[in-house]
Every structure is written in structure tokens, then in C-alpha cells.
A and B are shown apart, each in its own frame.
Chain A
Amino acid sequence: MAEEIAAPRQILPPPAERYTWLGWIQKNLFSTWYNSLLTFITLGLAYALLKPFLTWLLEQANWEVVEVNFRLLMVGQYPPDEIWRIWLLLYLLAAVVGLSWGVWVRGRLALALGLLLAPLLLALLPIATPSARLNLVAMDLVAVAASRLGRLGGPSLRRFAAWSWVIYLVLVILVVRGFALTPEVMPRVPTNLWGGLLLTCLLTVVGIVFSFPLGILLALGRRSSLPAIRAVSVVYIEVIRGVPLVTILFMAAVMVPFFLPSGITIDRVLRAMVGITLFSAAYLAENVRGGLQAVPHGQFEAASALGLSGFKTMTRIILPQALRIVIPVLMGQFIALFKDTTLVVTIGLLELLGIARAVLAQPQYVSYQREVYLFVAAIFWVISYLMSYISQRLESVLGVGER
């Protein structure tokens, strides 16, 4: 009859591949003759590009212009007596981030330490004043305390942590603007004094906060079964996506005064914010629509089988799933929005890039373009990169894309 197949006597372990330094170099740099050639060409290219840059950076660059104008670049002409408000907001930011960390993320010690290291590194910069250093260190302590609190509270604080972000974003605008309780406490700061990185961040925050709901509405409108609403949404989205942001900003700056009854004027900064919001909403709508299309149709059917109304089906069943799917795309859109705020220089607002141009217009700094623009680019780079890095990490932590 059938012979039994002899089982192997012992199960051998998989052959261990051992990496040595030389082995790694051989495998990754010199595996074939053309790879060796490429390695040498790349090395030569990197040397040719980096050497002049590094010599300039280390020997010729003069960062005095940045040091002298540091406050201007950060907050524009925001009154020095009111700078404490910005610090307050930064403290609150540390608290909200810490709380959310404790509630949702936990663990991930390396990433947490990395985030905590950022303010400390800023404190080590030679530009920092002693009080700024103190504030930066204290911010870290606040963040740690808040994350402990979030951890203790655990899931019961989830709702609170989510709302704290909404409240924070609204608070940002209120505190920067001031609500004039009494003339001495929190006086109004007129928007023409807002500037620098502060204005960049404000434009971003306002853009995100207001374009998000508008974008969701437009996305729902585009998928609506009512032809009139669908047509209006489609036209809005396609028109806005078909024109450059500068034309919309220009329209907001030049044409909005025409549209208003005579006598009423809208603040310049506010007009820019409206322009950015309207622009960003169209792009967000398309992203959200992608998420809505990815939710299987069975979800609608199941919800209506359970007797949920149309409104409840959307808010409780469909949107939570749709938004969860598109978190990465939305983050990408928000980063793009952050970078796009630079375009307000075309209508004369002094956000980070605008202030940089204003600084360079001073006669004593005319020839410092490299230093100033590199500094500006570095700030944008660091913030955008951090945003995308954190969003990638959060996606893996929160299990976005998995179900």
C-alpha cells in the first residue's frame, strides 16, 4: 500500500542572514557594475551640491538679520504688551496635545520624547531670551501633566478631548483678537498688527475650522439626489478648483467691497480668510466625497433597515466611517492649506513671507535674501514635515484604513 512519506528528522531553522558592514555596503551600493557607477556619480553630485552650500552656511552666512528681526518674523507688529496671549495659547496647545496623547495614543515613548524635545531644542537656540526659555520648558511640563491626566481619565475623557480641540481652535481666534472685557484687560488688537508666523497660523486655523464643515456640506450636496442642490455643488466645486487661489484672493480683496452695500467694509485679513476658506472647501469636498464613495452601500441599507432617519444615517453611520477613511488625504489638504497661506502676500498681508519681504526692503538688509528666505523655508519645512509625520504616525496608531 501507500508508503508513508518519511518526515524529516529535525526541522532546520531558517538560514540566518547576517549583515556585516561590508556586506551591507556591497548589497546596497555595489551590487552590480551599474549600481557601483551610480553610487560614484551620486557621491560626486552630492559633493558638488553640498560643498558650496555648507561652506556658505558655516562660513559666510550672517544670521544677524534673523536675530534682530526675530520677533517681527514671529508675530509681526503684535503689541509687545500683549505677547503673553500668544504664550497662553501655546500653553493651552501643549495642554490639549498632551491630553489627547494621554487619551488616545499613550505608549509610543520615542515619538512622545521627540515631541517634547522640540520646545527644548527651541529653548537652546541662541536667540531665545531667558523668559522664553522658561516658558518653553514650562510648556513641556504642562504637556506631560496633561497627558498624565488624560491617561488617568482614559476613555471617559475621549469626548472631552475631542471637544477641547474645537474649543481651542475657537479660543485661538478670540484670544488673539481680544474681546475687550474692559479696556485694560484683553483689549482688541486690530488685524493690521497681526503678522508673521502668527498670521500664517491664524489663516491656517481659520481656513481649517471653517472650510471643513463647508466642505462636508458640499460633498453631501454633490452626492444628493436632489438635482438643484447637486448642480449648485458641482458648479461651485468645479469652478473653484479650476481657478488659481490668487484669483480668488484677488477677488476677495478687490471685488468684495463691490458686493457689499456702500458704507459697510470688511477687514482685509477677514477677507483673505474668507477667500482661503471658500477655496479650501472645494478641495475638501472632493476629498470627503472620495471617503463617502468608499463606504459600502450596505451601510446605508443597514441603517435604514434599523429605522434611522436620513440625517441620523449620515451623522451616525456614514460620515464617521467616511471621514476616518480620508484622514490621510485631509491632513495632506491641511498641509497644502498651510503652505498656500503664503499667497496672501499678493494682496499685501504681512504673514511670514510678507514680513520677510518687508524686512528685506529695509536698506541695511537688502543683500540678505538667502539668509531670510532660507529661514522662512526652514520654518515652513519643519512645520509641514512635522504635520505629515505626526499624521502618518497617528494613522498607524489609530488604525486608520483598517476596520
Chain B
Amino acid sequence: MQITRPSRSGRSTPFWRDERYLALLGQAVFLAILVLLLGYLARNMLANMRQQGLGLGFDFLKLTSGFDIGEHLIPYDRSSTFQQALLVGLLNTALVSILGIFFATLLGLIFGVARLSTNFLVQQLARGYIEFLRNIPLLVLLIFLYTAVFIKFPRVREAVMLPGPVMLTNRGIAIPWAIPTEAFSIFARFLGIGLLLALLVYLALKIYERRAGRPARALLWACLIFIMITVAGWLLAPAQPLALDPPRVEGLRLAGGRQMSPEFMALLVGLAIYTSAFIADVVRAGIQSVSRGQVEASRSLGLNTLKTLRLIVLPQALRVIIPPLTSQYLNLIKNSSLAVVIGYPELFHVSGTILNQSGRAVEMIAVVMAIYLSISLLTSAFMNWYNRRVRLVER
């Protein structure tokens, strides 16, 4: 029998049946269609904008904004520019996100561990909390908290006083706050020196730890040194560096302390408890992923419960927890944009106002999307870096 073999030199595959050429051709066609489509959309956009007398460009960000923002962390008034307004919004987003992430992690940890408790009642309470929050939309929760809880508090005159004093009113919640006095600058120097020294000690002990090969409790010593210098600074300063400023009622308004608007409180509480339910499930799954044998082995090595948890279970659980935790943090940051519905001036809300004032829809949406995208990418880059540090290093 004769077997025909493809000859190396003679009839090779014609190019219209060669997969390599076809792949190139396919991609070229795909890209061409994509570019044509985008070009068509862009052309329409430019034509429409010309029709409405709009140009494309970001110069308008330097114009005067002309609107007020209720809450700002940096100086701002209606004569500031759009750019500054955006920055105010961004800082508000950052504030609510950082606080939200902190409280959500705390609550999530508590409820995630409680979900695994051997105590039936505790376990069921945690389960109810998680199941309730996971199955309702965040927006419903936010609107409910805002319209049915935080602005339903009594008026300022009849403010509810909690020990602290914390005041609950329909104009917001006020907590005592420390305000710096003129002696603060000296105290601040002590703080700086303390931080620097603590850092140096920490690094030195870490190096010693690696050389000597035995634990040196670097973190503990660093904290102790920082606390000691802080206390020394407090005592050595000519006057008390920080004065306690309790909230009080002045006429029809709240004064003193730190006041938080109902919008901010509703957003913070809503984001924190909603995300905490998801984090609780992440934590539970992480702890459950550590096999029981690990606990038993560590107990038989003589480690006590606390050390087992700290040295054996948590480091292993953390590896499983970090990636989904990252996406929950990112969700929280992105969900903070829902504040637009209850009127807290974060990034999305402020940019909506700018859009209305300036009429620059295309540019504003591009700016907002770019900012959110960079926040997301930065956060996930940071969490990926952290994840690489705690990841299991296999041989």
C-alpha cells in the first residue's frame, strides 16, 4: 500500500487554509469592524455635540463651580472650581469607603466567627443577620436607613442623649471630638519622633530576628516605644495639647464635637452592615477551609486555643479569605456611588451636579469612570501584593 506523505517542499497548505493566516485574517477583520464601529459612534457623538454647540475638552474643570457642597474635608465654597468640587467628592468617597471597610471587616469577622459558634443561639442570630442582609438590595437598605431611621430622629431640641455624650438628632449625629490647642505643634513633634523611633526599632529588631533566628517581638517593642514617647510628649507639653469638645445644643443647631450628617450616617451604616454580611460568609468559608487535622495537630503540639487560632488557623484561612475579601472591598467602594440617591456628596453625586451645571456629559462621565477605574485597579493591586505575601509558598 502506498502512503502519500505531505512533501516538505512541494504542495504545502495553501494560505487560505493555513490556520496561521486565517487567525491573522480573522483578528484583522475583528479589529477593523471594532474600529469602524467605534469610529462611527465617535463621529456621531462629535456631530451631535457640534449641533448642540459643545466642544470636547477638559478646560471647563477650571471654571468656577457656583454650587455649594454640604460636607467638605478641604476648604470649598461656591467660588471654587469644578476641579476642587471633584476633589471634595473624591475625598468624601474615600472617607466613607475607608470607614466603611473598617467597620464592615470588623462586623464581618464577628458574624463570620459567630456563624461557626458552638452556641446554637449565637449561630442562629448570625445566620439571621447574614441571610437578611444578603437578600435585600443595598439601595432599599440605604433609602430605608435614611428616610425611616436617620431623619426620623427627634429634632435638635429634643435630641436623644447617649452616654459619651453622643447626640442623635434629625440633623445628624454628634460625637465628642478632640480639638488641638496651641500646644499641639510641640506634641505633634513628639508624635513624629515617636513614630520614627518606633519604625527604626521595628526594622532593627526584624533584622536581628532574621540573624539570630529567634523571635524578638518587634511589633510589641515598637508599639511600646511609640506609646511611651507619646505619653511623655503629652506630659511635657506646656499645656494640654488636645482639648475635649463635647457636642451641645445652641439655639436650634448642634454645635461642638464632630457632627455627622444623616446622609453620611445612612450611607456609612448601610454600606458597613450590607458588606459585613458578605464578608462574614467569606470569613466563614475561609475558616472552614482549614482542615480539622491542623487544629488537632497544633493542640497535640501543646499550643493553646488562642495560639492555635493565631498561628495555625488564621494564617491558613487568610489565604483563602484574601481574594474574595478584595472583591468585597471593591464592591463597597463602587457601591458608595449609590449615595447619589440619598444625597451624600461623594464623587458620583458631585460629578452629577457638575454635569448639570456645565452640560459636559461626555467629559464628566469619562472622568468619573476613569477615577473609579483607577481606584479599583489600585485597590486590587494593593490586595494582590498583600495576597502574594501571605500566599502558600510551595516548593
B30 contacts A by Cβ under 8 Å: yes
Q: Are the CB atoms of B340 and A380 closer together than 8 Å?
A: no
Give Cα distance in the complex from A374 to B138, angstroms: 13
Main secondary structure of the interface of B (DSSP, over half): helix
Residues of A with C-beta under 8 A to B334: 243-245
CB distance from A214 to the nearest CB of B (A): 15
Give Cα distance in the complex from A65 to B271, angstroms: 28
Which of B48, B132, B138, B376 has a CB less than 8 Å from the CB of A262? B48
Q: Are the CB atoms of B140 and A377 closer together than 8 Å?
A: yes
CB contact under 8 A between A38 and B376, given known A243-B369, A258-B45, A373-B143? no
B297 contacts A by Cβ under 8 Å: no
The contact string, 1 if C-beta is below 8 Å from chain A, for chain B 97-140, is: 00000000000000000000111111001000001101111111
Q: Are the CB atoms of B119 and A385 closer together than 8 Å?
A: no
Q: Are the CB atoms of A226 and B26 closer together than 8 Å?
A: yes
The contact string, 1 if C-beta is below 8 Å from chain B, for chain A 335-367, is: 100011011011000000100010010000000
B255 contacts A by Cβ under 8 Å: no
A29 contacts B by Cβ under 8 Å: yes
**In the complex, chain A residues 21-59 whose Cβ is within 8 Å of any chain B Cβ:** 28-29, 31, 35, 38-39, 42-43, 45-46
Please choose the segment from B3-11, B79-87, B360-368 that sits at the chain A interface, where 4 or more of its residues have CB less than 8 A away: B360-368
Give Cα distance in the complex from A259 to B361, angstroms: 12
Q: Are the CB atoms of B144 and A377 closer together than 8 Å?
A: yes
Which of B131, B148, B376 has a CB less than 8 Å from the CB of A370? B148
Give Cα distance in the complex from A360 to B138, angstroms: 19
The contact string, 1 if C-beta is below 8 Å from chain A, for chain B 337-358, is: 1101100000010001001000
Q: Are the CB atoms of B117 and A258 closer together than 8 Å?
A: no
Q: Are the CB atoms of A227 and B27 closer together than 8 Å?
A: yes
CB contact under 8 A between A35 and B140, given known A228-B31, A232-B34? no
A250 contacts B by Cβ under 8 Å: yes
Closest to A374 in B: B144
CB contact under 8 A between A228 and B30, given known A28-B119, A46-B125, A247-B348? yes
CB distance from B170 to the nearest CB of A (A): 13
Q: Are the CB atoms of A247 and B30 closer together than 8 Å?
A: no
Residues of A with C-beta under 8 A to B23: 225-226
Residues of B with C-beta under 8 A to A380: 135-137, 140
CB distance from A236 to the nearest CB of B (A): 10
Q: How large is the interface on A (under 10, 10 to 19, 20 to 34, 35 or more residues)?
A: 35 or more
The contact string, 1 if C-beta is below 8 Å from chain B, for chain A 112-139, is: 0000000000000000000000000000
Q: Are the CB atoms of A242 and B372 closer together than 8 Å?
A: yes
Residues of B with C-beta under 8 A to A374: 144
Q: Are the CB atoms of B120 and A28 closer together than 8 Å?
A: yes
Q: Are the CB atoms of B135 and A241 closer together than 8 Å?
A: no
CB contact under 8 A between A339 and B147, given known A29-B121, A38-B119, A247-B368? no
Q: Are the CB atoms of B132 and A381 closer together than 8 Å?
A: yes
The contact string, 1 if C-beta is below 8 Å from chain B, for chain A 185-225, is: 00000000000000000000000000000000000000001
Which of B26, B31, B373 has a CB less than 8 Å from the CB of A242? B373
Which of A35, A238, A254, A346 has a CB less than 8 Å from the CB of B340? A346
Which of B41, B132, B136, B341 has a CB less than 8 Å from the CB of A259? B41
B377 contacts A by Cβ under 8 Å: yes
A255 contacts B by Cβ under 8 Å: yes
A239 contacts B by Cβ under 8 Å: yes
Q: How large is the interface on B (under 10, 10 to 19, 20 to 34, 35 or more residues)?
A: 35 or more
A384 contacts B by Cβ under 8 Å: yes
Q: Are the CB atoms of A241 and B139 closer together than 8 Å?
A: no
B64 contacts A by Cβ under 8 Å: no
Q: Are the CB atoms of B120 and A388 closer together than 8 Å?
A: no
Residues of A with C-beta under 8 A to B138: 339
CB distance from B390 to the nearest CB of A (A): 22
Q: Are the CB atoms of A250 and B148 closer together than 8 Å?
A: no
Interface-centre pick from B44, B138, B141, B352 (highest chain A CB count, 10 A): B44
Give Cα distance in the complex from A228 to B27, angstroms: 6
A251 contacts B by Cβ under 8 Å: yes
Q: Are the CB atoms of A251 and B365 closer together than 8 Å?
A: yes
CB distance from A138 to the nearest CB of B (A): 29
A376 contacts B by Cβ under 8 Å: yes
Residues of A with C-beta under 8 A to B352: 250
Residues of A with C-beta under 8 A to B49: 258
B335 contacts A by Cβ under 8 Å: yes
Residues of B with C-beta under 8 A to A345: 139, 341
B12 contacts A by Cβ under 8 Å: no
**In the complex, chain B residues 131-185 whose Cβ is within 8 Å of any chain A Cβ:** 131-132, 134-141, 143-144, 147-148, 152
Closest to B132 in A: A381
CB contact under 8 A between A377 and B141, given known A246-B338, A247-B369, A343-B338? yes
A16 contacts B by Cβ under 8 Å: no
Residues of A with C-beta under 8 A to B338: 244, 246, 343, 346
Closest to A225 in B: B23
Residues of A with C-beta under 8 A to B119: 28-29, 31, 35, 38-39, 42
Give Cα distance in the complex from A335 to B122, angstroms: 27
The contact string, 1 if C-beta is below 8 Å from chain B, for chain A 242-270, is: 11111100110011011111100000000
Closest 3 CB pairs of A and B: A242-B376, A28-B120, A384-B135
Query: 17 more A-B contacts (CB under 8 A) besides A42-B125, A254-B365, A339-B137?
Result: A28-B118, A39-B121, A46-B121, A226-B27, A229-B27, A232-B31, A241-B376, A242-B376, A243-B369, A243-B376, A247-B337, A254-B361, A261-B44, A345-B139, A353-B139, A369-B152, A380-B135
CB-defined A-B contacts under 8 Å, sample of 18? A39-B122, A42-B121, A42-B122, A225-B23, A229-B30, A247-B337, A258-B44, A339-B136, A339-B138, A342-B139, A342-B140, A343-B139, A343-B338, A346-B340, A353-B139, A353-B140, A380-B136, A381-B135
Residue positions of A touching B, CB distance < 8 A? 28-29, 31, 35, 38-39, 42-43, 45-46, 225-229, 232, 238-239, 241-247, 250-251, 254-255, 257-262, 335, 339-340, 342-343, 345-346, 353, 357, 360, 369-370, 373-374, 376-377, 380-381, 384-385, 388
